[in-house]
Structure 1
Amino acid sequence: MKSEKSVMAARPSVRRRIVGNAVVKAVSTAALALAAMWGDAAHAGGPLQEMTYLLPAPQSEIAFAPLMIAQYKHYYADEGLSVRFVTVQGGAEVGKQLASGNGDLGGGLGDTPIVLRQNGIPVKAVALFGGQALHQFVTRADENITGPAALKGKTVTVMSYQDTSFYATLAVLAKGSLTRQDVSVQAAGPSGIWQLLAQGRADAMVGTPDWAASAEAAGAKLTWHSTDAYFPGMAQAVLASDRTIATRPDLVRKFVRASLKAMAEIERDPAAAAKDYAAAVPSWQARQPFVTRVLVYYAQHVYPGQSRIGAFDPVRVEKLQDFYLAQKIIRTRVDAKDLFTNEFVE
């Protein structure tokens, strides 16, 4: 059999046809991409402003449903934004990268600025996805762990030591008069955090409802406790550096408005939102009932409790900072106005 090279050399017409088809394909691909870009731009009435949002865990985590739904339903494009999501290792790392200028906005917990500010990292929370704590303190039912004090000598998983789940774990331990030295805290990543729990290689976990539900789906029998029961932790937050807030307030406001629009839809009708989310993140399409279950939990146990959607409760922020200080998780207090702002929440 002759090689393609020899055929093309012997038959110029074949060569012209192959090259021509390649050019047509390239032009068609470029045209489709351009059409998509201008299609999105049409939502905003003009070219889109590009921005980077740093995620503390993989984009496919259901915890990020408000962001993925807002992207899928063109809410960011409607605001004139083209959002690129980039994953880093944990909320604390998100804050550090934002302060260094390596991203426009990012995600963490409402707690995150409390931990970072006292280390001189100038980030602030600009919107909060719910009035209750995001993190759940989840234990294996067969371990009969009745509270934080019963964790002594046990193994607890967190996503990473840079993630705010680790600081939430320290707070839970402190409530039981324990320290990190009294337990084995394993930073297991976004998959290992629940897999070790499901496999019985860990006794407890501090993490999102998504991960606890994944462990149960894998066969583990668990006992759930919101970390609200032990300290006034907070939900996910949108974080921004002081520089971005000062120089690009319109970008912050547009992103917050689009994201909270999607969050409100989830809280109002989590089953319908699960369909949108499965369409936005195709890897979940075959598990839509699972997605619905998780979003129902968010709608009932994480999102409620705000005086205004997206707004911070100054009293809760102060109580949380006092708790972190009393438990020596932080060394100094920071003025609350440097930790959060409600100016971008409408």
Structure 2
Amino acid sequence: MVAWPLSLGIRPKPALTFLKRFAYSATAVFLAYLATQEAAVAGDKTVPVALQLLWTHQAIFGGYYVADRQGFYAAEGLNVRFRESAPDADLLSPVLDGTAQFGIAGAAELLIARERGKPVRAIATIFRRSPVVYVSKASLGITRPDDFRGRTIRVVTDPANFFAMMTHAGLARTDYRMVSLPSDPKLFAADAADVWLIYINGFAVTLERMGQKLNYIYPDDYGVHFYADTLFTTDTVIATQPDLVLRFLRASLKGWTGAVEDPALVGPFVRSYDPQADADLETQKMRATQALVNTGEDHIGWMREERWAQMAKVLKEQGALSGSLAVDDVFTMAFLRNIYEAGAAIQ
């Protein structure tokens, strides 16, 4: 059983010893200095790159912020710009039309888009464990999917994940009622829904910080294992600018390593992009993100074909895929292998 109560904090498997952490910190400072010097010399020779975020500025993008603010992108000769998104926005089009070279999307979304003929391809999965979790007030006594029967469920994202868990529990869509609600603590307190689908490193942190006593239900406990935030680009960018992809991914992985090792960096960095952000809250969110990124197996960003195949199988069972898709067309391991075999990313 997965058990990640936020009140205890989410802790990934330690990736570095104290001495390695010290070495990382020293390296980060040195690289930031070099990046500053290189940028001054290069002037306008740095390559402009846009990353399409899947939401507004917040800690779930912490590794990219660390890569930017610590100079890892600049050290690769890149000038990275972050493009915010909005609710219900099309996250793929900015990458497909060239407005952004890279984007972040759920793995399920990429599988569906690829089968529909869109030339998107994953280059790394940052959230190798899904942040999707179902919560309810502890006082309601809802502790497993079977308890959803006759309840009102707030579902606003990742419906394939939800339906797969319900199917596993033997519940039909007529056994519960779905509603769409904003992530509003007042609505949660007022019992606008009995069960809420939320992110464990997002709204869940806010609710616990407010003192709500919550029961958690994890899809992973019921056979549903989805990759979440996945870094992607297009076939064209991969074919025509492979060096750009390699440099961007290498710097991003260094940034995520830094964010996992020192989550206290992230809150202030979020404020540098959004002055209205609560730095302490964003740091808490980053702490809740650590175990999603550094799962204790493989490398940060690493992808497994069997996991992609399992997600495709679930999506086919839910009617979201026809089954004609070749799973290995959706992702490439070439850049991750290049980076980790060269020892370029700190793990």
TMscore range, shorter length: 0.7 to 0.9
Quick check: 1:197–1:204 contact (8 Å CA) kept in 2?
no
2:12 matched residue in structure 1: none
Is 1:313 aligned to 2:304, yes or no? Answer: yes
CA contact (8 A) 1:56 1:91 kept: no
Aligned 8 A contact 1:139 1:224 in 2: yes
> Deviation above 6 Å: which 4+ runs of structure 1?
none
When residues 150 and 92 of structure 1 are mapped into structure 2, their CA distance, relative to the original with a 3 A threshold, is farther
Q: Could you tell me which amino acid in structure 1 is paired with residue 289 of structure 2?
A: Y
Sequence identity (%): 26
SS in 2 for 1:127: strand
Superposition deviation, residue 240 in structure 1: 1.1
Which residue in 1 is equivalent to 2:166? 173
Shift of residue 180, structure 1, vs aligned partner = 5.0
> SS of the counterpart of 2:90?
helix
Match of 1:327 among 304, 314, 318: 318
1:278-317: CA deviations, max 9, x gaps? 5565434x542x3343222222354314412211011111
Question: 1:112: how far off?
Answer: 2.4
Partner of residue 218, structure 2: 226
Cα distance change on mapping 1:130 and 1:56 into 2, 3 Å: closer
2:285 to 294, 300, 309: 294
* Post-superposition offset of 1:261: 0.8
Check whether the contact 1:130–1:236 (CA below 8 A) recurs between aligned residues: yes
* CA 1:188–1:56: 2 relative to 1, 3 Å: farther
Q: Name structure 1 gaps, 5 residues minimum.
A: 1-37
Q: Which residue in 2 is equivalent to 1:238?
A: 231
Q: Secondary structure at the match of 1:344?
A: helix
Q: Does 1:127 align with 2:124?
A: yes
Q: Which aligned pairs between 1:89-108 and structure 2 lie closer than 5 A?
A: 89=86, 93-108=90-105
Report what 1:32 is aligned to.
none
Cα distance in 2, alignment partners of residues 91 and 341 from structure 1:
27
Q: 1:95 to 1:177 in 2, by over 3 A?
A: farther
1:116 and 2:109 correspond? no
**Which segments of 5 or more consecutive residues in structure 2 lack a partner in the other structure?**
1-35, 340-347
1:63 shift after superposition: 0.9
Quickly say closer, same or farther: Cα 1:175–1:269, change in 2 above 3 A.
Answer: same
Distance between the aligned counterparts of 1:127 and 1:90, measured in 2?
Answer: 24
Look up the match of 1:88: 85
- Higher-helix-fraction structure: 1
Partner of 1:25: none
Distance 1:250 1:66 in 2: 21
Letter in 1 for 2:105: G
Helix, strand or coil at the partner of 2:48: strand
The verdict on how the C-alpha distance between 1:243 and 1:275 changes in structure 2, with shifts beyond 3 A counting, is: same
Check if 1:67 corresponds to 2:64: yes
Contact 1:56/1:93 (CA < 8 Å) preserved in 2?
no
TM-score, scaled relative to structure 1? 0.75
Residue 26 of structure 2: aligned partner:
none
Contact 2:270 2:279 in 1 (8 A): no
- Going from structure 1 to structure 2, the CA distance change for 1:316 and 1:248 (only over 3 Å counts) comes to same
Cα distance in 2 between the residues matched to 1:294 and 1:247: 37
User: Contact (CA 8 Å) 2:143, 2:217: kept in 1 or not?
Assistant: no
1:26 equivalent in structure 2:
none
CA RMSD of aligned residues (A): 3.0
Conservation of the 8 A alpha-carbon contact between 1:56 and 1:89:
yes
Q: Mapping of 1:44-55 within 5 angstroms? A: 47-55=45-53
Q: Would you say the 8 A contact 1:91–1:108 is kept in 2? A: no
For 1:199 and 1:251, how far apart are their aligned partners in 2? 49
- Cα distance, 1:57–1:260 mapped onto 2, change above 3 Å: same
Shift of 1:126: 0.8
CA-CA distance at 1:183 after TM superposition: 3.7
Looking at structure 1, the residues matched to 332 and 61 of structure 2 have their Cα atoms a distance apart, in angstroms, of 21
Q: 1:283 to 1:122 in 2, by over 3 A?
A: same
Question: Structure 1: how far apart are the matches of 2:103 and 2:254?
Answer: 17
SS in 2 for 1:283: coil
Matched, 1:56 2:44: no
Per the alignment, in what secondary structure is the counterpart of residue 111 of structure 1? helix
Q: Is the 8 A contact 2:67 2:252 kept in 1?
A: yes
Q: For 1:205, give the aligned amino acid.
A: W
Task: Please state how far the C-alpha of 1:325 moved relative to its aligned partner.
Answer: 1.6
Query: Which residue of 2 is the match for residue 256 of structure 1?
Result: 249
State the Cα deviation string for residues 174-195 of structure 1 (Å, max 9, x = none): 3333455544433445x44x65
Question: What TM-score do the two structures reach when normalised by structure 2?
Answer: 0.75
Considering Cα pairs closer than 8 Å and 6+ residues apart, tell me whether 1 or 2 has the greater RCO.
2
